C-alpha cells in the first residue's frame, strides 16, 4: 500500500510517501510544499491545492493520512492551517484518495508506543523503523513521514476494517483513528 502522509500548514506543508506491507515500511519520498510569506492567503491556498494535486497524480497513493489540528495559543495561525488542511482534503477527495485522520497522540502511540512521546523520540523511531541513515529533513517532512507510518502501522494491523474509508461510498470518507 502506498500512503501519502501530510503534516498540514499554510506556510509549510510536510509530505511523506511510504510504501507499507504487513511487516515492513519503506520511505519513497518526503519533502515540503512551501508558500511565500506576504502573499494573500487565497493565493497560498491555491498553490497548496495545485501542489497536492501534483503529488497525488505523481505517486497515486492508496490512502492519505493527515494529522488533525492541534493549536492552543495562536488562533489566527490555527485558522490559516485549518483552511490549508481543507484544500488538502479536497485535493484527496477530488482524486478519490481515501482520507484517514490521526491525532498527535495517536501518531506518537503508533510510531513510538507512547502517546505522550517527545518529538525527538518520534523522529528517532521514524528513522529506525524505516532503516534510514538520518531523520528526514526538514521537520515538517519528518512529521509527515511519521503520519504515514502511523497509518501504515494501523492499517496493516489485523484490527483494521478495510471498509473504513472508501471514496465514492456516499458517506463522509474521513475516518478518525
CA distances from residue 161 to 4, 175, 177 in whole angstroms, order as listed: 19, 11, 11
HEC secondary structure over 19-62: EECCCCEEEEEEEEEECCCCCCHHHHHHHHHHHHHHHHHHHCCC
CB contact at 8 A, 152 and 18:
yes
What residues pair up with 12 in beta bridges, in sequence order? 34
Q: Catalytic site residues?
A: 7, 67, 140
Amino acid at each position: 500500500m502506498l500512503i501519502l502522509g501530510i503534516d498540514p500548514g499554510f506556510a509549510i506543508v510536510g509530505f511523506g510517501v511510504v510504501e507499507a506491507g504487513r511487516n515492513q515500511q519503506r520511505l519513497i519520498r518526503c519533502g515540503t510544499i512551501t508558500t511565500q510569506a506576504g502573499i494573500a492567503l487565497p493565493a497560498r491556498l491555491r498553490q497548496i491545492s495545485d501542489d497536492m494535486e501534483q503529488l497525488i497524480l505523481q505517486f497515486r497513493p492508496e490512502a492519505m493520512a493527515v494529522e488533525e489540528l492541534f493549536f492552543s495559543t495562536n488562533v489566527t495561525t490555527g485558522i490559516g492551517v485549518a483552511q490549508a488542511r481543507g484544500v488538502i482534503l479536497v485535493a484527496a477527495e477530488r482524486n478519490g484518495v481515501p482520507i484517514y485522520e490521526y491525532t498527535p497522540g495517536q501518531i506518537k502511540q503508533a510510531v513510538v508506543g507512547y502517546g505522550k512521546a517527545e518529538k525527538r523520540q518520534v523522529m528517532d523511531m521514524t528513522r529506525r523503523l524505516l532503516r534510514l541513515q538520518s531523520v528526514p529533513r526538514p521537520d515538517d517532512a519528518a512529521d509527515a513521514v511519521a503520519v504515514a507510518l502511523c497509518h501504515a502501522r494501523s492499517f496493516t494491523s489485523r484490527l483494521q476494517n478495510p471498509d473504513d474509508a472508501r471514496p465514492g461510498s456516499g458517506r463522509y470518507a474521513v475516518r478518525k483513528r
